A = this chain, B = another copy of it.
């Protein structure tokens, strides 16, 4: 299953996490350390499978972490809370305490907080300076900025939401950018020209970790078998910060748009049915997603498929975040720029054009690995 890709020894790669004290970020930092130390296999990391051997990805041991957040809770303490909730294995927070503390020292205050008098450009400049300081201080060749913060409401008007301020800061700091959330990030009209001019690779939007992952394989199944889906309904129950954020209808709207797009794309047309996201604090970081699919078979026979997915969101997201940081870093090293549409495998609402079935997206990802591997011949850089 696992094959350690040949990393550039001695060099370092920064991973700058927006929402650096959240569940996903904490799991990313703790998990990278745990896998590097051999405490756990790299389950869930596609970049550790044999297909990614010799693709020049930065080694896990070469990754250094920092980021922005608006809360104060130290990473080691956050990790303990996650272990109490069953998200991290008991004992892991202390086993990787040094790495958590090291990342914690590289977390800078995010914003804007209430009362902040800085204007958009000042905020972007401050955030960009935080990132470039981190790169310089850590001796990294480069850093990838990854948004793993709570979903923000869909923006109204021309004001840049926080996620877009951070994205703009990534551009200004010369960093590849990955948006693992449904928040706006680089998808703001005010940033389009800057993104195009920056010559940087970027990827997103909204990591595909559970219900939508399933939909991206089940939708194609119905389509390929010429079965008529009549209604596809879903309910998500989740606690943690994400549950509370998505209980806000405006935030949920952003997320659901991605889910419905996957169905419409794989089935060939929009389909009846709603998606609910309920905040159920009792579930903590564990998410339960129920899908009910009513479909017609031959001669109008009424049939049903139901799925129940019970997963830990942070544990599902973290290995993908590590994958994406490595892929985006290597993409920049290889001279690629613009939307990395080949990474649709990871997202509900991928940038660029690409297939919507998981199988098609996986094939694209393997082709992307080939491009990364062909480092010496310069072909990949002609993009």
Neighbouring B residues of A351 by C-beta, 8 Å: none
Residues of chain A in range 32-51 having any CB-CB distance to chain B below 8 Å: 34, 40-46, 48-49
Neighbouring B residues of A227 by C-beta, 8 Å: 43-44
Q: A43-B227, A87-B301 are in contact. Are A280 and B272 (CB under 8 A)?
A: yes
Chain A: residues with Cβ within 8 Å of the partner, total of 79
Q: A43-B228, A90-B90, A235-B235 are in contact. Are A301 and B278 (CB under 8 A)?
A: no
Q: Is the beta-carbon distance between B296 and A231 smaller than 8 angstroms?
A: no
Neighbouring B residues of A264 by C-beta, 8 Å: none
| Cα-based distance from A15 to B214 in the complex (angstroms) | 37
Q: A276-B276, A303-B310 are in contact. Are A27 and B235 (CB under 8 A)?
A: no
Neighbouring B residues of A230 by C-beta, 8 Å: 282
Q: Is the beta-carbon distance between A27 and B298 smaller than 8 angstroms?
A: yes
Q: Is the beta-carbon distance between A233 and B1 smaller than 8 angstroms?
A: no
- Asked if A319 is at the interface of the complex by the 8 Å CB criterion, the answer is yes
Q: Is the beta-carbon distance between A278 and B282 smaller than 8 angstroms?
A: no
> Which chain B residue lies CB-closest to A283?
B294
CB distance from A363 to the nearest CB of B (A): 8
Question: Which of A62-70, A127-135, A171-179, A353-361 is the interface stretch?
Answer: A353-361
CB distance from A159 to the nearest CB of B (A): 30
Partner of A301, one of B30, B272, B303, B312: B312
Q: A34-B299, A46-B225, A359-B357 are in contact. Are A280 and B273 (CB under 8 A)?
A: yes
Q: Is the beta-carbon distance between B43 and A300 smaller than 8 angstroms?
A: yes
Question: Which of A5-13, A216-224, A336-344, A371-379 is the interface stretch?
Answer: A216-224
CB distance from A280 to the nearest CB of B (A): 5
Listed A/B pairs (17) with beta-carbon separation below 8 Å = A1-B268, A43-B226, A43-B300, A44-B226, A48-B226, A87-B301, A89-B300, A214-B218, A217-B221, A235-B290, A290-B290, A290-B292, A297-B312, A299-B318, A303-B310, A305-B308, A305-B309
Interface residues, chain A, with chain B CB atoms under 8 Å away: 1, 27, 30-31, 34, 40-46, 48-49, 83-84, 86-90, 92, 213-214, 217-218, 220-221, 224-228, 230-231, 233, 235, 237, 268, 272-274, 276, 278, 280-283, 288, 290, 292, 294, 296-312, 315-316, 318-319, 345, 357-360, 362
